[in-house]
Amino acid sequence: MPDVVSWHQWGSGGFVGSVETYRALEKKYNVKPRPLSINEYSSTEHSEEGCPGLSIPFIAKFERHGVESAMISWWFVPLPGRLGSLLTKDNERGGGWWLYKWYGDMSGYMAKVVPPNDKSDGVDGFAALDKKKGFASIVLGGNTKGDINVNISGIPSAFGNKVNVTVEYVVWENKDKAVPSTNLVSDKEYDVSDGKITVPVNITNTKYGYRVYITPSGWPGQVVP
Q: What does each of the 225 residues of the chain score in pLDDT, given as a tens digit?
A: 899 999 999 999 999 999 999 999 999 999 999 999 999 999 888 889 999 999 999 999 999 999 999 999 888 877 788 888 999 999 999 999 999 999 999 999 999 999 999 999 999 999 999 999 999 999 999 999 999 999 999 999 999 999 999 999 999 999 999 999 999 999 999 999 999 999 999 999 999 999 999 999 976 554 444
Distances (CA, A) of 106 to 81, 111, 196: 24, 11, 21
What gap in Å lies between CA 19 and CA 38, rounded to an integer?
11
Task: For residue 14, count CB atoms less than 10 angstroms from its CB and return exposed for 0-12, middle for 13-18, buried for 19 or more.
Answer: middle
What gap in Å lies between CA 225 and CA 215, rounded to an integer?
14
CATH of the domain at 216: 2.60.40.1180
**What domain count does the chain have?**
1
To the question of pTM greater than 0.75 for the whole model, the response is yes
Structural domain containing residue 209: 1-225
Helices and strands in the chain: count of H runs, count of E runs: 3, 11
C-alpha angle 84-11-23 in degrees, rounded to nearest 5: 110
